[in-house]
């Protein structure tokens, strides 16, 4: 049991958290903030004005805007705001130009530490690699939050090797071949990571890996039993402390949604039989073209299963929302919202499966609720997560040959009735639950993290 004096003694120590300003990165960082706050630390969130978090949902945090405080700066006006391009260009921008302005803000915060309490450390998204040299110059320990899986980092760390071996030059006839060095993967998975503009993305990746190694520790949104072999590799190749905490288990609902969550479907969902509804969402970033959108819609209708579909405005390129679908097209079985309280939907008894793009948050949220998946990865870590889910953990059906209505309908029917997949998903949920009990791995990892931060 935590000693009360110990926890209240920490309240005067501050931790600075700096998330990358995108939904899949903000959610785990603010959950980490809530966890550290619950353990007695004071929390300051450094955030950009672009995608700024709703401060009113976190009255216990202090917020400080950094990096893009001048709205007239022409360099910001040119950056795209939607989709993967927005994420990549902003990330590149921050890494290239962010150091001086972050240093200035940190100096001010450090100077106020007599009044506001000493600062223990800075925790930033691992992708914001520029923050390591800033932290070093101020003698401030920096930990990183890595928002994807350990498996993903292991593969990312091998990209220079895979590049040397020629994988990125292979043509279309090789896409279905196995990657010799990682038998779980096919060549197309490696290509889908999206190292298109090779030099640029390789520079960013190399810097991320280097500055992660230079940091004081890595915090993962995961748990030991999920990725045990990869944990061994990470501990060998990144010889700094690693802490694995499954955040969704600590927070059953999101408090850091950038879009408004629609809850109007709950009366309908509450009336659906156990495990009968397919929940569909492809995360906060990816976009599809009109043809693919229609295949998805037709596949859903043809499956004759009930579904709840979160269609984010901007999801369909060139469309504002659902205007491509004739009125009533989705039928009586389907409900569509712009943005759902995803974790609550996954935890609902009526939810039988999740058709996902396998962003890591979605993947882990599904695992934490024991919900089987249909995997439709597009980009980045998603193809790696999808292979891990469908072939290593075997809790998902991989839809790996594009969006075709017959294949979609078949995959949906299969995942809804496959009792073996459902049972494996249930066992995995049991493992994460056990890991959180007093002697469990996740419980201990969180305790070690608190001790570690308290000691630096
Ligand atoms: C991006 C990358 O695509 C992903 O691969 C990487 O791991 C993190 O950044 P994103 O598209 O945002 O992720 O997907 P994901 O990681 O799954 O995060 C989406 C978050 O939004 C989840 O926490 C999910 O619960 C939430 N969400 C999604 C909602 O709250 N409501 C919705 O309707 C859809």
Q: For residue 281, what pLDDT is reported? A: 98
Q: Each residue of 375-394: pLDDT tens digit?
A: 999 999 999 999 999 999 99
Residues lining ligand 1, judged by CB closer than 6 Å?
22-25, 27, 147-148, 254, 257, 281, 283-285, 310, 339-340, 342-343, 359-362, 365, 380-382
Q: Which two tokens stand for residue 211?
A: 């500055």
The topology under which CATH files domain 4-246+438-455 is: Rossmann fold (3.40.50)
Give the sign of the dihedral formed by CA 226, CA 232, CA 234, CA 240. positive
Q: How many angstroms from the chain centroid is the CA of residue 398?
A: 19
The pLDDT-based confidence of 3 (bands split at 50, 70, 90) is: low
Across residues 47-63, what is the average pLDDT?
94
Which residue owns the Cα nearest ligand 1 atom 15? 359
* Spatial separation of the C-alpha atoms in residues 400 and 386, rounded to whole Å: 9
- Select from 19, 21, 24, 360 the residue to mutate for testing ligand 1; criterion: most ligand atoms less than 8 Å from CB: 24
| 364 touches 286 (CB < 8 A) | no
Q: For residue 2, what pLDDT is reported? A: 53
Which residue owns the Cα nearest ligand 1 atom 1? 24
Q: Which two tokens stand for residue 75?
A: 């360099």
Q: Each residue of 6-27: pLDDT tens digit?
A: 665 566 799 999 999 999 999 9
Helix, strand, or coil here: 120?
strand
- How many C-alpha atoms does 177 have within 13 Å on its Cβ side? 12
Q: Residue 144's closest CA among 207, 88, 216?
A: 216
Q: Each residue of 128-180: pLDDT tens digit?
A: 999 999 999 999 999 999 999 999 999 999 999 999 999 999 999 999 999 99
Which atom of ligand 1 approaches the CA of 381 most closely?
A: 5
Domain boundaries, the chain: 4-246+438-455, 260-432
Q: For residue 9, what pLDDT is reported? A: 58
Place of tokens 């190399």: 206
Residue 283 has pLDDT above 50, yes or no: yes
Q: Each residue of 129-142: pLDDT tens digit?
A: 999 999 999 999 99
Across residues 23-36, what is the average pLDDT?
97
- Give 91 or 115, the one with higher predicted confidence: 91
Which atom of ligand 1 approaches the CA of 257 most closely?
A: 30
How many angstroms is it from 180 CA to the middle of ligand 1? 30
Q: For residue 90, what pLDDT is reported? A: 87
How many angstroms is it from 48 CA to the middle of ligand 1? 19
How many angstroms is it from 190 CA to the middle of ligand 1? 21
Contacts for 240 with CB less than 8 Å, ≥ 6 apart: 213, 215, 216, 217, 218
Model confidence, pTM? 0.96
Residue 252 has pLDDT above 90, yes or no: no
- Select from 20, 21, 22, 23 the residue to mutate for testing ligand 1; criterion: most ligand atoms less than 8 Å from CB: 23
| 24 touches 359 (CB < 8 A) | yes
Is-same-fold flag (4-246+438-455; 260-432)? Answer: yes
Q: Each residue of 347-363: pLDDT tens digit?
A: 999 999 999 999 999 99
Contacts for 342 with CB less than 8 Å, ≥ 6 apart: 254, 279, 281, 310, 362, 365
Going through 4-88 in order, the beta strands assigned E by DSSP cover 14-18, 42-47, 62-65
Residue 207 has pLDDT above 80, yes or no: yes
Q: Each residue of 418-444: pLDDT tens digit?
A: 999 999 999 999 999 999 999 999 999
- Select from 269, 284, 311 the residue to mutate for testing ligand 1; criterion: most ligand atoms less than 8 Å from CB: 284
Which residue owns the Cα nearest ligand 1 atom 34? 283
Average pLDDT, the chain: 94
Residue 76 has pLDDT above 80, yes or no: no
How many angstroms is it from 437 CA to the middle of ligand 1? 27
How many angstroms is it from 114 CA to the middle of ligand 1? 38
Which residue owns the Cα nearest ligand 1 atom 4? 359
How many angstroms is it from 342 CA to the middle of ligand 1? 9
The residues annotated with a catalytic role in the active site are: 25, 125
Domain 260-432 listed as CATH 3.40.50.2000: yes
């Amino acid at each position: 049991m935590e000693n009360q004096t110990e926890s209240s003694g920490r309240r005067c120590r501050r931790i600075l958290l700096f998330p990358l300003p995108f939904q899949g990165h903000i959610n785990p960082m603010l959950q980490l903030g809530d966890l550290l706050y619950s353990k007695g630390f004071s929390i300051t969130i450094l955030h950009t004005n672009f995608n700024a978090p709703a401060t009113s949902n976190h009255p216990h945090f202090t917020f400080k805007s950094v990096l893009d405080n001048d709205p007239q700066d022409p360099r910001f006006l040119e950056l795209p705001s939607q989709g993967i391009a927005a994420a990549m260009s902003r990330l590149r921008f921050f890494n290239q130009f962010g150091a001086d302005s972050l240093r200035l803000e940190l100096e001010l915060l450090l100077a106020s530490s007599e009044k506001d309490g000493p600062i223990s450390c800075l925790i930033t998204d691992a992708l914001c690699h520029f923050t390591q040299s800033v932290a070093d110059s101020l003698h401030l320990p920096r930990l990183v939050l890595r928002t994807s899986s350990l498996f993903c980092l292991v593969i990312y760390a091998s990209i220079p090797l895979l590049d040397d071996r020629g994988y990125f030059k292979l043509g279309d006839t090789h896409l279905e071949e196995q990657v010799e060095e990682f038998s779980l993967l096919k060549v197309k998975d490696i290509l889908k990571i999206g190292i298109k503009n090779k030099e640029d993305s390789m520079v960013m990746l190399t810097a991320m890996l280097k500055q992660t190694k230079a940091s004081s520790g890595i915090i993962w949104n995961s748990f030991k039993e999920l990725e045990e072999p990869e944990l061994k590799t990470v501990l060998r190749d990144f010889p700094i402390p690693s802490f694995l905490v499954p955040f969704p288990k600590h927070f059953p609902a999101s408090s850091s949604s950038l879009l408004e969550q629609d809850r109007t479907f709950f009366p309908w969902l509450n009336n659906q039989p156990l495990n009968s509804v397919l929940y569909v969402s492809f995360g906060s970033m990816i976009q599809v073209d009109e043809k693919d959108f229609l295949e998805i819609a037709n596949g859903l209708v043809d499956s004759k299963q009930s579904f709840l579909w979160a269609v984010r405005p901007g999801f369909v390129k060139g469309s504002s929302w659902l205007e491509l679908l004739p009125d009533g097209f989705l039928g009586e079985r389907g409900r569509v919202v712009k943005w759902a309280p995803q974790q609550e939907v996954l935890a609902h008894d009526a939810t039988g499966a999740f058709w996902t793009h396998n962003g890591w948050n979605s993947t882990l949220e599904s695992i934490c609720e024991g919900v089987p998946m249909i995997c439709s990865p597009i980009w980045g870590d998603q193809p790696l997560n999808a292979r891990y889910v469908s072939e290593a953990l075997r809790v998902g059906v991989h839809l790996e040959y594009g969006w075709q209505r017959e294949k979609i309908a078949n995959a949906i029917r299969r995942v809804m009735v496959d009792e073996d997949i459902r049972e494996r998903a249930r066992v995995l949920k049991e493992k994460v639950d056990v890991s959180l009990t007093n002697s469990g791995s996740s419980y201990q990892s969180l305790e070690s993290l608190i001790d570690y931060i308290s000691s630096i």
